[in-house]
Structure 1
Amino acid sequence: MKKNTSGPRFKALLEEAKITTTGFAAFWDTEAQNIHNWYTRGVPAYRMEEVARILSVNSHWLKTGEGPQDLAPLRVVDESGNTFNAQAIRGIYTVIEPVDVELPFYKETAKAPGSYKTHVVEDPNQSIRLPRSHLDALEVNPRDAICTHMIGNSMGEKIEDGSTLAIDRGLTQIIDGEIYAIEHDGMLRIKYLHRMPGNALRLRSHNKAEYPDEIFRAEQIEDQNIRILGWVFWWSTLNKRRPSVPFL
């Protein structure tokens, strides 16, 4: 697999076209800093084809520096069978991006009817739509994003019971103090995670008064099938009641 070294070429293309990072960021509805990060990190793989089309270059060349820089001619055929160069007809063309991303919904459910044993699986009858700009701002690949519901009040006052969550399955490395979704022997749990000596793991609730810290040794993590599903990057809470209007 070829290494992504697109950063310097991407920067040079923007400078050649006199496009600022702010201007390019506005097109994607994201922050200029995210675009500036591409100068060193490279254009994200899931954006490579789209960015290459917009800048009218070959995506393989943009990624690796190999092969021809220019795009292969885009041909269109009319009803009479005549072939035309689409770029020549359209001039500078724009790729229209979807505003929202539809994310699959996962939930904890019984493995079999009447069973107390559960697992976390996709519910094909549900999905959640989020603005693509939310994902782009945090550099979340849409293919890695899933949603679920918060169950219980262990994260109360931070994430209320019933809140909808979005999870980045592309980030499972533990960063101390961040919120993650985990599957604990088939049970869906949302916790702050902290690494501990000896490959141990500490689970911390926001509602620490009712839910004290839990520490699992490395062998317990394996024995109890504790698996990190991903980093929780978004949540939404609906107010549980509508306030009454006085003097009516």
Structure 2
Amino acid sequence: MSTLAERVKLARDRLNLSQQDVADATGMSQPSYYKIERGHTKRTTYINELAKVFEVNVDWLANGSGEMLSGAANKAEEAKRAGSEAIADPEKELARILEAGSVSTDDSDDEMVSIPIYDLYFCCGDGNGSCEFENIKGYRKLPPSFFKDRNIRPEDFKLICAINDSNHPYIKDGDEVGIVITDREIKDGEYYAILLDGDRMIKQIFREAGGSYRLSSFNKAYPDKVVTPEHNESLIIAGRQVYRAG
């Protein structure tokens, strides 16, 4: 594989790890690891830590030279793969499908649409609005009319979890928050899931004079934040909030 991004993605998928798992195990921040896997970081000082977590040869991970696994590891991998092919595990297969974040229609339940509920999301500021969502904690079934009434596609709708009381009682800690990931153009006074300098948060955004943005919380115990034009690249919009449920 020609790029570091491709190799770390392959190594992570091989062990069925989440990006959060890798970040925690290596001591990296979540956004830093995300940038490696998205190809925005071409080299990293964490290469030895990553190789250890992925159980791969460091030279292969760093520059693609040599074998991905040692000889002993290759034999163990082949035996493991042969065993997994012989005996299918329905629970693991379901987990794999959910991890892919697929949106499905349940024909046995009035064609309800199953939407995964994510603990985490990662975005990059490369201008193309790319985001990834991980750590599925369950899913919620919504009727097709939910999407039709709001003129949104199910595949553009993501459910994430609020992580503090900054918007209490409008959005409480642990609430499910539905965002439209294709709706990232800031509309004055709307709530958005954002990343600010790599920190995930949900804020009401107001346009200010001179091209600044004011980020406000419903809970006024949390002071407003102002993002000036020269720091706009630190603000990344994941999607506009259109739904919440406790």
TM-score, normalization: structure 2? 0.48
- Greater share of helix: 2
When Rg is computed on C-alpha atoms for both structures, the one with the higher figure is 1
